[in-house]
Amino acid sequence: MSKVLKLAGLVAVFFAVAAVLADTKGLDIVFVNGFEGTSPPTNCPRDADGDGLLDPACVVTFVPPDPVSIAPPINPTITTGFPDAVDFLYKHPNPVQRGVPPDAIVEHRLAVLKGFVKNAQGQPLPGVLVRVLSHPQFGYTFTRNDGAYDLVVNGGGELVLDYQKDGYLRAQRSELTPWQQWQYYDDVRLIELDTAVTQVPLGPATLGSLARGSAVTDADGTRRATVFFPAATSAEMVLDDGSRQPLPSIGFRATEYTVGEAGPSRMPGPLPDSVGYMYAVELSADEAIAARARRVEFSQPVSLYVENFVGFPVGEGVPLGYYEYRQGTWLPSDTGRVIKILSISGGLAILDVDGTGMPASNAALAEMAITDAERERMASIDGDRNMHHGHRTPSDIAADIREHPNFPNARYINLFMCGAANGPNPLAQYIAEKTGMPVLASYGPASADPTGPIGANVQFWFYH
């Protein structure tokens, strides 16, 4: 059966989770919003919301000019100091950088930060708002058509740059900045939200539900973030003014950062030197993004599962952390765990949680706060694992076909059906076409009904 990494206890959205599959109950219930908007400038207090960034009320969207087009000519007969050569970036009538008070820049400490922002495909991404965390006095700029940006700051320490654009996940990068020099930041790739969205009902009367992100495949393997929301889970989003608004439901998305060779440049922030690059996913709610809420808080922990695509040993603990945008750093959380689904019995996943190869005891499951309802959903994850791409080759199907113990002329395959209710089963038709054998979908020993409910665990019987 399949190995699953369980990250349990993720209880809010707008939060980048970095680790590899595991089991961690009781994580922080706050996910910080990774989105901020822009609005016309006013007599703003610069950082009224306390997030360390120049407030949106102080920002007006503009297209910065190419610095080459506004740079004053250099007088070749005299020595031009670095501050005099670059201060046009924020002092010009049509500046590259806006919102810098007259006394904000100290000339002998002046440094220019430069870099490029791209989209997930590696193409230049214009219109990205760039600000300096914890230094709203340095104003802001936007990336130009070539994805480039320039910001004048006071050097002499580590500075965190914050990158935001509507429709994309937020990112931050940090570098040590010198005095009177250029400092180049690593290229950043901002990624769009996952297209797979699940409407999750919330409230005291709700049943447990499952939400899944899109399947991702690269050289490291195939995986798909799956989140279990327990029954009677409620949620509130915390708005910018600190008020709370209940959420009767959320449009949930799970967007993976760590995809392909460019994965490190897609990360929400640079990893600490002591942490290896492995897996990171953003959990978000469309309603909170639209309201530009700070965070969403759930009434109880929810669980995140991911296939063990890196092959960690069962029972091994997996360090887990999250990125805190207001502090510009990764913070540790409870250690996760790699678990294995040994089999499915009575509609429940039988779990190995310690690597012994034996089913976990009730006490072990209770210690990890794994309920029967969660195990029922885990059973559906295991059944669906072979079909989440939507396409399989005939050899893939044939490898899973088994002899039926009670019918010598029958073969069967266990799968999880997500077809339409009360209609022809497209999965059964697909298997019949690929194997050349007639198929009946059975929901019990006496059933041979090729239609059935959404999300049913089924056996596809092959008669030949």
Task: Provide the CA 64 distance to its chain's centre, in angstroms.
Answer: 30
**Would you state the pLDDT for residue 106?**
96
Expressed as residue numbers, the domain containing 229 is 3-26+205-237+279-382
- Residues 359 and 423 both lie in one domain: no
Domain count, the chain: 3
Q: Is residue 62 part of a domain?
A: yes
Distance from C-alpha of 74 to C-alpha of 171, rounded to nearest angstrom: 36
The residue among 59, 325, 47, 38 whose CA lies nearest residue 174 is: 325
Asked if residue 232 and residue 112 are part of one domain, the reply reads no
> How do beta strands 317-324 and 15-18 pair?
antiparallel
Q: Is residue 249 part of a domain?
A: no
**Distances 48 to 62, 240, 443 between C-alpha atoms, Å:** 22, 10, 59
Say if residue 215 is in the same domain as residue 350. Answer: yes
Query: Which of 208, 249, 214 is closest to 232 using CA atoms?
Result: 208
Say if residue 293 is in the same domain as residue 374.
yes
- Are 226 and 326 within one domain? yes
Same domain, 290 and 422: no
**Coil/strand/helix, residue 374:** helix
218 in the same domain as 84: no
Residue by residue, DSSP assigns 236-303 as EEEPTTS-EEE-SEEEEEEEES--STTHHHHSSSPPPTTS----EEEEEEHHHHHTT-SEEEESS--E
Percent of the chain with pLDDT over 70: 73
In the predicted model, is pLDDT for residue 443 greater than 50?
no
pLDDT tens across 246-256, in order? Answer: 999 999 999 99
According to the model, what pLDDT value does residue 48 have?
85
Q: Which percentage of the chain shows pLDDT scores above 90?
A: 61
CA 371 from chain center: how many Å?
Answer: 25
Does residue 32 form part of some domain? no
pLDDT of residue 461: 43
Pair 218, 361 in one domain: yes
pLDDT, mean over the chain: 80
181, part of any domain: no
Residue range 262-266: mean pLDDT, rounded: 97
Q: Output the six-digit token pair for 399.
A: 């490898």
Residue 6's pLDDT band (boundaries 50, 70, 90)?
low
Phi, psi of 369 (to 5 degrees): 60, 40
Q: Are residues 142 and 85 located together in one domain of the fold?
A: yes
What CATH number has the domain bearing residue 78? Answer: 2.60.40
Residue 177 domain flag: no
Region 272-300: mean pLDDT is 91
In a domain, 195, yes or no: no
Query: Which residues have C-beta within 8 Å of that of residue 201, sequence separation ≥ 6?
Result: 209, 248, 249
| CA–CA distance, 96 with 138 (Å, rounded to integer) | 12
Assess if residue 421 is contained within a domain.
Answer: yes
Instruction: Look at residue 366 in the predicted model and tell me its pLDDT.
Output: 93
Q: Return the pLDDT at 432.
A: 55
pLDDT band for position 190 (50/70/90)? Answer: very high
Q: Each residue of 367-381: pLDDT tens digit?
A: 998 999 999 988 887
Do 20 and 145 lie in one domain? The reply is no
Residues 444 and 296 in one domain: no
Q: Are residues 213 and 353 in the same domain?
A: yes
| 86 token code pair | 């670059």
191 in a structural domain: no
Boundary (domain end) residue, out of 137, 166, 195:
166
> Would the pLDDT of 387 be above 50?
no
